[in-house]
Structures are given as structure tokens and as C-alpha cells.
Amino acid sequence: AQTVTQSQPEMSVQEAETVTLSCTYDTSESDYYLFWYKQPPSRQMILVIRQEAYKQQNATENRFSVNFQKAAKSFSLKISDSQLGDAAMYFCAYRSAGNNDMRFGAGTRLTVKP
Amino acid sequence: SAVISQKPSRDICQRGTSLTIQCQVDSQVTMMFWYRQQPGQSLTLIATANQGSEATYESGFVIDKFPISRPNLTFSTLTVSNMSPEDSSIYLCSVGWQGVGDGYTFGSGTRLTVV
């Protein structure tokens, strides 16, 4: 079974600076999707960014970008120019192309200091 | 993307009782899921809600405890039966489309406290 590991329970960053959240996963499949979700205190799960495993190019969404290393099974999230509104729990998630359920990591709580 | 209405948003229930959570989607979706998020924890998949047939449960979850209905492509319910304090969690509905590699959309969750 696929597992997703987030080794940083908590991270903090100064406002306007850059922070990287780590995620590794274990799979024997070659075709899959990876996601980062944000969960603020409102508990609404918000999709931040997605990456298809067959794409070599790293996904980017405004201030959010990923470093996808398929061979290393690593999928880190970089947040540039951090804002106070970025403070939340961040979950890394894996979804097989052949299976529909999504597996989540344990999460990283990000604090943004003014 | 779909818009999900999940009700109730929160409830406090007596042990031994049952609570039914509703998930209404504004468009037809092929896949609907129910997740549990225990306090301070990640999301754990309870089951996949199948339209017109019995739900597919993950290991550790059983139909008697978490009966699920999905009468059509836009609606599903999750019941938490014979509740105990250990059932206190956030329950989230999630939807997606088969064969599409998009992320799933989540409801705003139901915060359940069992006393």
C-alpha cells in the first residue's frame, strides 16, 4: 500500500520569506498524482497544487511551487513571499492513477511570523 | 469544480446515539468519499460511497458502525452509529471524477463531539 510521510510536524517562517515543506512517499506504481492541500483553522481542505508523475516539469501556482523528484519519491512544497494567510496545516497526498482513493500524510503545521 | 454542502457543521451528541451527516453536491460526480480526521491527526478514508450499491469500506471501518447511502450522483449520507467519545472527530465528504487526475474537492466538514 502507498504511504505518504511528512517528517516535519511543525514549521515556522517569517513573513515575506520562503519556506519548504517536505514530503516523501512509497509506491511501486509509475503512474500517479501528488497533491498539496492546505487546511486553515476553518478546517476547509483547499487544494494548493498538483503534480502528475509523468510530467518532469515541476508544477507552479503563483507563490507555490513543488520540487518533484520521482526517483527519490520526494515531493516538497516551496512557499515564496510567505503571507500571514498561509498559516495552516499542509497535507501532502497521493493518488494512484488506477485507484481512486487519496492517501494523506500526517501534515505539517505552518506558522507565519509577522 | 464542484461545490459541496455538508450538514451539520457541528454537533454534540450523547453516547449511544447516532448522527447522520449529509453531503450535497451542486453537480453530478462519479466518486464520493467519506474521511475521518481525529483531533490533531491526518485524514483517514472511511469508505467510498457507491451510487446504487453498498459502500466500499477501508480496513478498520464497518458498515454497522458507519452506514453510508448514496441514492444518486449528487448526494450521500454517513451515519455514525452507537457513538462513543472515541468517535469525536471531524468527518469530511469528498468528491472527484473517475479517470481525471484532479484533486478532490472537500466539504467543510462536520465536527462531532460525543459526550
Chain segment B71-114, per-residue pLDDT in tens: 999 999 999 999 999 999 999 999 987 666 778 899 999 999 99
- For residue range A12-40, list pLDDT tens digits in order: 999 999 999 999 999 998 889 999 999 99
Note the pLDDT tens digit of each residue in B37-55.
Answer: 998 899 999 999 999 889 9
- Determine whether the interchain pair A103/B45 forms a contact, defined as Cβ–Cβ distance below 8 Å: yes
φ, ψ of residue B87 to 5 degrees: the values are -85, -5
Residues of chain A positioned with their CB less than 8 A from the CB of B101: 33, 50, 52, 95, 97
Which of A63-67, B8-12, B25-29 has the weakest average pLDDT?
A: B25-29
Flag if A101 and B45 touch (Cβ within 8 Å): yes
Q: Which residues of A touch B89 (CB under 8 A)?
A: none
- Which residues 19-48 of chain B have a CB within 8 Å of chain A? 31, 33, 37, 41-45, 48
Mean pLDDT of A77-102: 92
What angle is formed at CA B110 by the lines to CA A41 and CA B115, rounded to 5 degrees? 100
A42 pLDDT exceeds 90? no
**CA atoms in the 13 A half-sphere facing the CB of A63:** 12
